[in-house]
Amino acid sequence: MVENLTVVRGSKKVIEDVAFTIRKGEFVGLVGPNGSGKSTLLLAILGFLNAANGKIEIYGEPSTSNRHLGKIGWVSQAAASLPPNIRITVEELVRLGTLTRKNMFLRKGRNQERITEAIEMVGLEEVIHTDVARLSGGQRQRAVIGRVLASEADFILLDEPLVGIDRESRNSLLKLLDELCHSQGKTILMISHDMAAIRQTAHRMIYLEETVKFDGPSEEFPDLEGLANLRGIEHVHSDHVHEHDKEEE
């Protein structure tokens, strides 16, 4: 739950008066232009950035609460660009997702099943022992998603996880994420530039541009023209008036 959230970075209000509630099992697509504050919002939800105003709660507790440790997964915008000097296989990378403070010193076999399952889910069985540095961009992206799947996180935040992924893997990933929501009750908040793709899969869309300009079922998400209206952009050739069926919140 996010309530009148305002986040300031430097001296600039990046997002202002943002409010929404995400229910368990929902798959929410977060979209908006470059620099509109999407990553900032995610970082604030994760508790990495302080709110200048407003509040954020996850399962009824502040997002900074210790109770959320291991329960919230994050795939960052730059997650797939690991430093080139790190030598780590796909399996090792995914295993990192299963590390918690509790099991850090337990024997390695314990989580093997979850690790193998996660690698299968993202379709990387064939490169399980390959160095992550030698994978294609899309494969690497799937590996970092595999890592979050292997964790116990049930609230998963993804920042542009589809960048650099070919259409086929992208569709199978979206389907996979959707299935996780339906069958395992995971909750997903995902940023994407690919509005068409995310709209097809997400149950709900939030359009952020400093503040929330649209929040509703994906089927009702406006087309390009509707978006321009949302953003207050005037059409140069507006010789016809459209009835836009704007839903009241």
Ligand X SMILES: Nc1ncnc2c1ncn2[C@@H]1O[C@H](COP(=O)(O)OP(=O)(O)OP(=O)(O)O)[C@@H](O)[C@H]1O
Q: Which of 9, 71, 203, 213 binds ligand X (CB under 6 A)?
A: 9
User: Distance between CA 41 and CA 15 in Å, rounded?
Assistant: 7
Length of the chain: 249
Q: With binding defined as CB under 5 A, does residue 76 bind Mg ion?
A: no
Nearest distance from residue 164's CB to Mg ion, in Å? 15
Q: Which of 4, 21, 35, 238 binds ligand X (CB under 6 A)?
A: 35
Closest CA to 167 of 133, 194, 134, 128: 194
Chosen from ligand X, Mg ion, none, partner binding at 185 (C-beta under 5 to 8 Å by type): none
Q: With binding defined as CB under 5 A, does residue 39 bind Mg ion?
A: yes
Q: With binding defined as CB under 6 A, does residue 40 bind ligand X?
A: yes
Q: Which two tokens stand for residue 228?
A: 């321009």
CB 29 within 8 A of CB 198: yes
Segment interacting with ligand X, rule: CB under 6 A, options 28-36, 56-64, 127-135, 232-240? 28-36
Nearest distance from residue 8's CB to ligand X, in Å? 9
CB nearer Mg ion, residue 131 or residue 194: 194
What is the strand order of the sheet 12-20 is part of? Answer: 12-20, 2-9, 53-58, 61-62
- Distances in Å between the Cα of 55 and the Cα atoms of 52, 63, 244 are 9, 9, 33
Q: Which of 3, 6, 16, 39 binds ligand X (CB under 6 A)?
A: 39
- Which residues contact ligand X (rule: CB under 6 A)? 9-10, 14, 32, 34-40, 77
